[in-house]
Amino acid sequence: MGQVGRAHGIRGELLVRSFTDPPEALLDYEPWQLVPPRGEARTVEVERAAWHQDRLRIKFEGIDDRNAAEALRGWWIRVPRGQLPPLAEREHYRDDLLGFEVLNLEGGQLGKLDYFVDLPTGSVMVIREGAEGSREHWVPAGPTHLKQVDVAARRLTVDWPLELE
């Protein structure tokens, strides 16, 4: 749903990037689960929130200084699945697609969907061939390139070549 960025000020505030549409909809969900890169999730309550440029400036209850805030940098924001709105036809939550096999239109296997990256130009699927550290394909996640989602087979079909010249 979002990601915690850098500390803002000395009183425990943080800048948060929202992945919801619209971005302020992130504040409609509580409580939040903060998930570190490694380790256990932590439940937090938002004490106050305001916009700061293109990010939310958030103050969590119990996070009262810059050091405590900075320790949360890079953590992911999740909410309980039951709070999420129902999906329309041909809509999917990103987390549900992770690990799907990815094939191109010719049937060539690109790998498995590892994660998404949000760039200024749009979302990108990062597909890994084989083991960690191997080759990656960065494929735009929009309808121009993402052609089919087969949930039952855990497979995505994309309009993307195996090799780029």
Specify the higher pLDDT residue, 158 or 121.
158
Q: pTM value?
A: 0.67
The answer to whether 140 touches 132, Cβ cutoff 8 Å, is no
Looking at the predicted structure, is the pLDDT value of residue 144 above 90?
Answer: yes
Residue 156: the pLDDT is 97
In whole angstroms, give the CA distance from residue 112 to residue 134.
12
Specify the higher pLDDT residue, 165 or 60.
60
Q: What is the pLDDT of residues 19-43, one digit of tens each?
A: 887 888 899 988 899 999 887 889 9
Task: Point out the least confidently predicted range of 37-46, 107-116, 144-153.
Answer: 37-46
Q: Domains in the chain, start-ordered, CATH in brackets?
A: 2-81 (2.40.30.60), 94-158 (2.30.30.240)
Residue 165: the pLDDT is 42
In whole angstroms, give the CA distance from residue 33 to residue 15.
16
